[in-house]
Amino acid sequence: MDFGIEDELHLLVETAALFGAQQLAGQERMHEQQRSIGNALHRAYAEIGLADLETPESLDGAALGSLAKCIVNEELAACDVGAAIALDRLGPTLYPALEFEGAAAVARLQALCDGPAPRRAILIHEEIDRDPGKPISLWVDWVPADEIAGVMLLGPTRACLVTEGIETRPLHASGLRASGGCSLHLASATAAEQWTGPDAASRAHARARLWVASMMLGVLRATCEFSRLYAGQREAFGKPIAHHQGLAFLIVEMNMALEAARLLVHEAAWRLDQGEDATLESASALVECIEAARWVGPSGVQILGGHGFMADYPVEKHMRELRTLGLMGGGLDAALETAGRQLETGVPPLNITTPVGERK
Nearest to 106, CA basis, from 145, 64, 152, 74 = 152
Would you state the pLDDT for residue 1? 60
What distance in Å separates the CA atoms of residue 326 and residue 318, rounded to the nearest whole number?
12
What distance in Å separates the CA atoms of residue 173 and residue 82, rounded to the nearest whole number?
11
* pLDDT tens per residue, range 129-152: 988 889 999 999 999 999 999 999
pTM as predicted: 0.92
Would you state the pLDDT for residue 351? 44
* pLDDT tens per residue, range 156-196: 999 999 999 999 999 988 899 999 999 999 988 999 999 99
Question: What mean pLDDT comes out for the span 241-270?
Answer: 95
Q: Which helix (H) or strand (E) holds 98?
A: helix 94-100
CB within 8 Å of 180: residues ≥ 6 apart: 35, 36, 86, 144, 145, 146, 147, 170
Q: 308, 302 in Cβ contact below 8 A?
A: yes
- Cα distances (angstroms) measured from residue 17 to each of 14, 21, 139, 201: 5, 6, 37, 32
Architecture of domain 199-358: Up-down Bundle (1.20)
Question: What mean pLDDT comes out for the span 277-287?
Answer: 96
Instruction: Say whether pLDDT at 353 is over 50.
Output: no
Would you state the pLDDT for residue 359? 40
Instruction: Say whether pLDDT at 99 is over 60.
Output: yes
Q: 82, 74 in Cβ contact below 8 A?
A: no
* pLDDT tens per residue, range 209-224: 999 999 999 999 999 9
Question: What mean pLDDT comes out for the span 44-72?
Answer: 93
Instruction: Say whether pLDDT at 309 is over 80.
Output: yes
What are the sequence ranges of the domains in the chain?
Answer: 199-358
pLDDT category at 345 given cuts 50, 70, 90 is: confident
What distance in Å separates the CA atoms of residue 256 and residue 321, rounded to the nearest whole number?
20
Question: What mean pLDDT comes out for the span 217-235?
Answer: 96
More confident residue, 131 or 78: 78
Instruction: Say whether pLDDT at 207 is over 50.
Output: yes
pLDDT category at 346 given cuts 50, 70, 90 is: low
Q: Which of 29-43, 90-104, 105-119 has the largest mean confidence? A: 90-104
CB within 8 Å of 11: residues ≥ 6 apart: none
Question: What mean pLDDT comes out for the span 46-60?
Answer: 92
